[in-house]
Amino acid sequence: VYLQGEAFVSRARLHQHGAEVQVKRLVDGLTSALGIDILRRATSTFPAGTAFIATGGRPITKKGASELISDPAMIRQQALAFDPFTGERRGAIPLWAGSPIAEKFNVLDQPNGLAIDRDGDVYVGDIPNSNPDADGAPPGPSAIYRIPHAALDALNAHDAHGAQSVERILVPGFVNGATAAADGAIFIVSCSRHDPARGGVYRLTREDFAEGRLPE
């Protein structure tokens, strides 16, 4: 269970003797920050070097409360964009109820894992984890979503046309991390009691997304 608004992003610098935290709370007030990467190819809205982070995953409660938050207006699943030097927020790819991607597919329950490939396409995983203690089916499909570079500005502006080019691959085991490879492929890892692979690593290509195919 995540505490609403209690997550944050720090910035540290690596050097020969280890790492030094420069700013502890660079971006504050987040909920369940689960995956981050850097956009290296600019759009009209997002300069090269913009950081994107997956945030807003369920289940959420307020600090000190005993009940879960269920109001969709208070659960803002998104890929949040910010300046990694100043922490200034630059917009977001909305994944919450009523957003273009949610209307095309479904609301992302717990955005988990984010990667950006060499072409600037953004990949976000989803763990439908709002019922983590239940033995039954998850509340929605576990999947990895490909958001093309050309769609980022439209989705940031809540333009429904931006979702037309978004693709996804269903992953029976919950997506629990993603990273981009130098050759343009994406690697994801899976987990959960629903995972037939009992924890797997998958290499996904652009062709896999076009066909909606999960490879071995």
The dihedral region occupied by 176, where left means phi > 0, alpha psi between -120 and 50, and beta the remainder, is alpha
Mean pLDDT in residue range 160-179: 95
CB 33 within 8 A of CB 91: no
Q: What's the pLDDT score for residue 103?
A: 96
Q: Render pLDDT for 107-163 as a digit per residue (tens, 0 to 9).
A: 999 999 999 999 999 999 998 877 655 566 667 789 999 999 999 999 999 999 999
Q: Residue 103, Cα to own-chain centre: how many angstroms?
A: 17
Return the closest-CA partner of residue 92 out of 5, 155, 182, 2.
155
> Is residue 169 scored above 60 in pLDDT?
yes
Angle at 96 between CA 94 and CA 99, to 5 degrees: 60
Q: What's the pLDDT score for residue 136?
A: 61
pLDDT band at 202 (very low <50, low <70, confident <90, very high): very high
Q: Render pLDDT for 31-47 as a digit per residue (tens, 0 to 9).
A: 999 999 999 999 999 99
Among 20-29, 48-57, 67-76, 158-167, name the one with the lowest average pLDDT: 67-76
